[in-house]
Structure 1
Amino acid sequence: MNKVTVIGSINLDTNLRVKRMVKPGETIHAQEHYSAAGGKGANQAVAAARSGCHVNFIGAVGNDAPGREMLALLKQDKINLAGIAVVDQESTGQAFITVDDEGQNAITIYAGANFAFGRQAIASKQALIAGSDFVIAQFETPVEATLAAFEIAHQAGVKTILNPAPAMSQIPADLLQLTDLIVPNETEAATITNVEVVDEASAREAAHKLHDLGVAAVIITIGSHGAFYDYQEQSGLVAAYQVKAVDTTAAGDTFIGAMSSMLKPDFSNFKAAINFANRASSLTVQRYGAQPAIPYLKEIEQVK
């Protein structure tokens, strides 16, 4: 069982289902409204835990009803909450998600407490980080906190995984040099490398540019095409499972969390770990919501 520490966001998601995306200045009716637990960090932690990992979480929520609800849900998945601060001066993060009939989404985020911690909070959790197999982070929390966590991980010989989302065109060079594995989707990869990723050839080109920035291992998820990986002598496209998607929210988060449960710290089983992650994501996209859609290990093992 891998030990994973996630530094990341915790959000209350407000979801709207619509026939199509709204145009500027237009008003449309929603078909359904519901709330669910979310946040890229929390989603990845839940996916890892449900796939069999021991998971620690470092982040923050507000001292409010949504924060208490999010913590209770994370606790149900047996995630170690010792690294989560409850802050009085900020409200719990929120995301407002619109999903159309094609399963595509548009998301607006209010960070709130997700930006209420930094290097000092990370330093106080050094033991959690140093005792992990992997440390995972995204960009819905302060970059300086991620950098501090990756410094601790690097010193302890712990492998780091960066999900560069939401996309940033200028990622700090010192953070990339401390990143062992970067996992962007095709849009994020294009933002970083200026290479439009549409197939295996363009993914390989983008991966080489990411290597040039100092990252040893690359996985680029390409939606329904699957995921391209490139590390030393290992590379290739692992095909996605073809299913009818109803909501792509948390598909990428499921991929990263599930992958971290299977990936060996020496990266020797990339293809098998990616295939497992693709199986998990294929279940998530067939369900609505973020964390409610993330599958458990028994479900993933049944995907053929």
Structure 2
Amino acid sequence: MTNRIVIIGSINVDNILHINRLPQPGETIAMSEYSQAAGGKGANQAVASARSGAATTFIGRVGDDNNGWLMIEKLKREGIDVQHVITSHTLPTGQAYILLQESGQNSIIIDHGANYQVMVEDVAAAADAIQAADFVITECETPISAAAAAFHQAKAAGVRTILNPAPANQRLTPELLAYTDIIVPNETESGTLTGMPITDQASLAANAAYFRERGVATVLITLGDQGVYVVTDTGSRLLPAFPVHAVDTTGAGDAFIGALASELQPDLSNLYAAVQYAQRASSLAVQGLGAFPSIPHRLAVLAAAKNA
């Protein structure tokens, strides 16, 4: 069965500065290369979902500019339904400035632009798509009020919700958490949101307990090359990562979430298998440059698993 996914989120153009290392305070360094790629956490997740075979609908905003027109065309080419992507006439399309080190690690600065104009009204206009979905996904590069409205609609219709609380610079409201079925932070984001940095197994378990105490039944904390810590009503389990050489980690978490939603059964009966599929997709994504360009298609994920 093909999953139907609705994503409410951000659309950005990524400006990538290739550098040897991060500059020290007051230091000037040269970049070795400059490149651009399509991105934004929401758009990345939508592409990952579509490339893994899900029927994907997007709710978001772009500016009335070249970047906005470009991004809409890119999403259309992936087979993503963009009828609920609205053009803003007052703010530009969002942009990200990515400092990409030779190690593959990145630091990202966001200009939200039109992404911060995503409104509750935009969600209401997409009610039919939300109610017909298997999963609704959102993150924190668009307003929390719109995210909560989308999740409220989803839960009222019996639709599963997945929250990627990234970046972790907005306060997650009790309402949003109460409407969240699955939360997927990385270890840094989780520590920031809970106020408990993850340093060992005990703090990892305490982080998961924090979210579950606030109504989130399933917690997936991604731990980079250490894997994914999965906590459900039946217990906890660490699923190891697949070891690869990372070239660019931009969009790796988004590749994970989109792939997860495409593979996961709505009753969550195949949760562990879906997490492993998503880990495989993420491991392929970090081996390429850029967000959109590196997100794998389903056949590539299955081939990597077969050849492992």
Superposition TM-score, scaled by structure 1 size: 0.98
Distance 1:169 1:111 in 2: 13
What is the DSSP-based 3-state SS (H/G/I as helix, E as strand, rest coil) of the residue aligned with 2:188? helix
Counting aligned pairs with the same residue, the percent is: 47
Structure 1: distance between partners of 2:22 and 2:209: 35
Change (3 A) 1:200 1:77: farther
Matched residues in 1 for 2:240 and 2:172: separation?
Answer: 29
More deviation, 158-167/262-271: 262-271
**Structure 1 residues 113-122 or 155-164, which shifts more?**
113-122
Task: State the match for 2:82 in structure 1.
Answer: 81
Runs of 4+ in 1 over 2 A off after TM superposition: 194-205
The 3 A distance-change label for structure 1 pair 268 and 234 is: farther
The CA distance in 1 between the partners of 2:86 and 2:192, in whole Å, is: 32
Q: CA deviation at 1:83?
A: 0.9
Who is 1:17 aligned against? Answer: 18
Q: Distance in 2 between matches of 1:160 and 1:89?
A: 31
CA deviations on 1:243-275 (whole Å, 9 max, x unpaired) are: 010111000000000000111111121110110
Cα separation, 2, equivalents of 1:4 and 1:82 = 14
Counterpart Cα distance in 1 of 2:74 and 2:95: 15
CA distance in 2, matches of 1:92, 1:176: 28
Structure 1 residues 171, 227: closer, same or farther in 2, change over 3 A?
same
Structure 2 residues not aligned, in runs of 5+: none
Q: CA RMSD in A?
A: 1.1
Do structure 1's residue 270 and structure 2's residue 271 form an aligned pair? yes
Contact 2:227 2:238 in 1 (8 A): yes
CA distance in 2, matches of 1:169, 1:56: 24
SS in 1 for 2:15: strand
Which aligned pairs between 1:1-304 and structure 2 lie closer than 5 A? Answer: 1-168=2-169, 170-198=171-199, 200-303=201-304, 304=308
Aligned-partner residue type, residue 40 of structure 1: K
Give the superposition deviation at 1:201.
Answer: 4.5
User: Gaps (5+ residues) in structure 1?
Assistant: none
Q: How far has the Cα of 1:192 moved from its partner?
A: 1.7
- Do the aligned residues in 2 keep the contact of 1:51 with 1:261 (CA within 8 Å)? yes
The 3-state SS of whatever aligns with 1:243 is coil
Would you say the 8 A contact 1:200–1:228 is kept in 2?
Answer: no
CA distance in 1 between partners of 2:124 and 2:170 (Å): 27
Question: Residue 29 of structure 1: SS of its match in structure 2?
Answer: coil
Q: 1:45 to 1:282 in 2, by over 3 A?
A: same
CA–CA separation in structure 2 for the residues paired with 1:184 and 1:108:
19
Q: Secondary structure at the match of 2:45?
A: helix
The answer on whether the counterparts of 2:62 and 2:86 sit within 8 Å (CA) in structure 1 is: yes
Q: Does the CA contact (< 8 Å) of 2:140 and 2:170 recur in 1?
A: no
- Distance (whole Å) between structure 2 residues aligned to residue 180 and residue 210 of structure 1: 10
Of 49-58 and 263-272, the range deviating more from structure 2: 263-272
Q: Is the 8 A contact 1:256 1:277 kept in 2?
A: yes
Distance between the aligned counterparts of 1:265 and 1:216, measured in 2? 14
- Give me the whole-angstrom Cα distance separating, in 2, the residues matched to 1:179 and 1:155: 12
Q: When the two structures are aligned, how many residues end up with a matched partner?
A: 304
How big is the shift at 1:117? 2.2
1:200/1:236 contact within 8 Å kept: no
CA distance in 2: counterparts of 1:145 and 1:44, whole angstroms: 17
Matched letter for residue 258 of structure 1: A
Separation in 1, partners of 2:199, 2:68: 39
| Contact 1:186–1:198 (Cα < 8 Å) also in 2 | no
